[in-house]
Amino acid sequence: MKKQLLTILLGAFATLAAYGQATDVSVTDIQFISATDLANCVDLSDYDGQLVKTVGVVMHDGNLTELASGSVNGGYRPGVHILDTAANGSMGSFAGLQIHGVYTDGGGQSQPVSTLDNLVAGMIIEVTGTVSNYQGETQLFPSDNSSVTVIGTTSAPTAHTLNLGLLNDNTRTNIYTSGEEWEGSFVKFENVTVVTVGVFSGNRVSFDVSDENGNLINVSDRFLVQKLASRDLVNPSSPATAGSFVQPIVGTKYESLSGIIMHSQNGCSGSSGRGYELNPFDTSHYKVGDTPPSITEVTRDPLVPSSSDMVNLSAKIIDFNGTVDSQSLFYSNNLSQAVVDFTEVAMTLKSGSTDEYEANIPAFADGTIVRYYIKAKDNDGNESFEPFSAGSTNPSAAFYTVRDAGLTISDLQKVLNVTQDASPYEGSTVTVKGYVVASAKPYDLEDIYIQEKDATEWGAIKLTGNSDLLDLWRTEEVEVTGVIEESFGFTQMNVSSVTKTGNTYDIEPIELEASDSAAYASREIEKYEGMLVKMINSAGKVYISNPRLNPFGEWTIASD
């Protein structure tokens, strides 16, 4: 009976939504989020769940959208993006919005709003629909096919040149406070380089690009232009019968990349999306520059050298529009030495290879931090660096620590620049020991962390991925082996094996001042990631300033 009553109520609400009076609002009104909400990682529209009517200029042809869906009749989801007419062609300031073309018919089936497929960039449309949110992206769902009306035409909107660093940081984590206003906007990034390429679902491709400061954004495939030839198209109004995109290689330089900004929230939201993303919709949006050599498949042997080990560095170095003229390894054991002053060693071709080069770094004393990078130059004078950051305006290098007694947790966590906080062992399989400071027990944190016995900073790490971790108790010492991963700025180990040593130790928390705002602003707080800490106020008390920061059980504290 209760279930039947709930069904009746839901049906009544759906009827009200479909036939109720729509509120006339602007695109900017729908998208606007206050600075306070954004600072608290909240990006939900004030009109979420409401029936509204709005007007905007179409940014791209509707038949270019290629979004497959198994839940919608016809197997696809139409869509366009519109710009607030009051914006007079200017992007940003919350003026862009996604129109997501799916509605529910009288039989409860999801149907495509195929009217959107016929829209052309520059059309001015009036849309009536319900505001919703998916993974941080505000969307307007038209009520049905008759809820989208063309009321005029104007010039098609053009892209706004934007600083990538306003959207995501160097871990591809979204920056709400400066990025959210660009959601749904048509933008252009200049002078970016491909750093990773991913083929997924067998025949889809996306890739990450970095600006000169290392900030990252994913270039995604919402539209026809980035569909591979092997991908089946789903939009019945598509101007093509097959995709034709050729994926770039790591190291490709784009003079410019343009597209629509969409949002797949991560970071402080608690979600695991890809941050703000760029979605090109025309071939002209990919303007390739003069591409330097590609440096990939870098290996270091041994991974954790002792004081008696010479270290071999090897890499695959190729140039796709010319030849590689020079390739060198640079290294230094002096942490205060500028990157440009490192010792240079020419890399030589490996025996039996045509594109793999190698060079050696001499042995150094136990505990020495050795920094290094690889530089290659082609016949046109274009230079590339690995890591990419070695050639940025604020250069940084890869590094390792010489250890006679084996790797420590601190070695996994310590970084030389807190704004580039990925572990130097990311992607590597390593073994370390530590004492459990948080367990999976129901009365505990329900996440597992281990910490070095005497560490005061950089000394702890989260463990995940192995059911044997559930048997761990606080104070137990364990030896773990696994792959080091970065999960939206947090370093963790995906554990393959766990062994209890039989030792126990109750680690005391590190005391931190709750009022130390400078540590947060400078990101020096990074050195305490995963560690057992005690927040104090030496001048008074610590109190709960926000008991419900978000739906994920997080809350904030402050000093009085």
Q: What percent of the chain has pLDDT over 70?
A: 96
CATH domain 14-153 topology? OB fold (Dihydrolipoamide Acetyltransferase, E2P) (2.40.50)
Q: What is the pLDDT of residues 339-350, one digit of tens each?
A: 999 999 999 999
Kindly report the three-state secondary structure assignment for every residue of 323-375.
Answer: CEEEEEEEEECCCCCCHHHCEEEECEECCCCCCEEEEEECCCCCCCEEEEEEE
Q: Residue 196: what pLDDT?
A: 86
Please state, rounded to an integer, the average pLDDT across all residues of the chain.
92
Provide mean pLDDT across the span 48-74: 96
Q: How far apart are the first and last CA of the chain?
A: 52
Indicate the SS3 state at residue 397. Answer: coil
**Residue 10 pLDDT level (bands cut at 50, 70, 90):** very low
CA distance 182 to 18: 30
CB 437 within 8 A of CB 532: yes
Round to whole Å and give the CA distance between 17 and 22.
9
The string of pLDDT tens digits covering residues 193-205 is: 998 888 777 588 9
Does position 526 have pLDDT exceeding 70, yes or no? yes
Q: 160-288 maps to which CATH number?
A: 2.40.50.140
Higher-confidence position of 210 and 13 = 210
Whether 538 shows a pLDDT value over 50: the answer reads yes
Which CATH code for domain 409-507? 2.40.50.200
- What kind of fold does domain 295-386+397-401 have according to CATH? Immunoglobulin-like (2.60.40)
The yes-or-no verdict on residue 453 having pLDDT over 50 is yes
What does the pLDDT average to over 388-396? 81
Q: Is 295-386+397-401 the same fold as 160-288?
A: no
**Distance from C-alpha of 113 to C-alpha of 133, rounded to nearest angstrom:** 18
Give 494-513 pLDDT, tens digit per residue: 999 999 999 999 999 999 99
The 10 Å CB-count burial string (b at 16+, else e) for 227-262 is bbeebebbbeebeeeebebeebebbbbbebbbbbbb
551 pLDDT tier (thresholds 50, 70, 90): low
**What are the extents of the domains in the chain?**
14-153, 160-288, 295-386+397-401, 409-507, 511-559
Q: Could you read off the pLDDT of 253-311 as tens digits, one per residue?
A: 899 999 999 999 998 887 889 999 999 999 999 999 888 888 988 999 999 999 999 99
The answer to which of 83-87, 187-191, 451-455, 518-522 has the lowest mean pLDDT is 518-522
Tell me if 392 sits within 8 A of 265, measured CB to CB: no
Instruction: Work out the average pLDDT over 116-120.
Output: 98
Residue 91 banded pLDDT, cuts 50, 70, 90: very high
Residue range 335-379, pLDDT digits in tens: 999 999 999 999 999 999 999 999 999 999 999 999 999 999 999
Res 267: pLDDT: 86
